[in-house]
Amino acid sequence: MKLITTFAAILLLSSQPVFAEEKIAVIVNVKNPTNTLSTKELIDLYMGKLIAFPNGERASPLDLPQDSILREEFYQTLTNKPISSINAYWSRVKFSGHAQSPLSLDSSAEVLQRVKDIDNAIGYVKLNEVTDDVKVVYTLAQ
């Protein structure tokens, strides 16, 4: 009986997630007057349909590399579309010349540094990577 109870407890514990859901923070420069963005504004900024923050200042969206898991999670959570749909969308838009995709940087550290240094930059990183050098304007739960 003790073996069955132990086995049941192990099964129950192993079915629970080991880590809590990690959040993604959308960040801007601390000098940026934008304090929050709506989901629609954020989608439009990252899909090239909107080129400015709500105050009219041009936005410079930053992205992570195509093979980045965080990039995939960001777009999937934000748009409810698979990354393959996002990539196909940008292929069509780039070909038409109607919009420019976000600037791709190599790492979250580079995104943080660029947002810290450039007033109109906007990027995304894991919430636990955010520093006081940037401001969070939107949070996504994965």
- Tens digit of each residue's pLDDT (9 = 90 or more) over 18-33: 344 689 999 999 999 9
pTM: 0.82
* Measured distance CA(110)–CA(123) in Å, rounded: 10
- The residue segments making up the domain with residue 42 are 20-141
- C-alpha to C-alpha distances, 132 to 30, 68, 99, 110, 112, nearest whole angstrom: 8, 24, 32, 15, 10
Q: What is the pLDDT of residue 4?
A: 47
- C-alpha to C-alpha distances, 65 to 62, 68, 97, 104, 125, nearest whole angstrom: 10, 5, 21, 6, 13
Report yes or no on 3 lying in a domain. Answer: no
Q: What is the pLDDT of residue 113?
A: 97
Report yes or no on 13 lying in a domain. Answer: no
The CATH number assigned to the domain holding 123 equals 3.40.190.10
Q: What is the pLDDT of residue 19?
A: 42
- Up-side HSE of residue 101: CA atoms within 13 Å toward CB? 17
Neighbour count for residue 128 (Cβ, 10 Å): 8
Residues of the chain short of pLDDT 70, as ranges, are: 1-21
Q: What is the pLDDT of residue 21?
A: 63
Report yes or no on 133 lying in a domain. Answer: yes
**How many domains is the chain partitioned into structurally?**
1
Report yes or no on 114 lying in a domain. Answer: yes
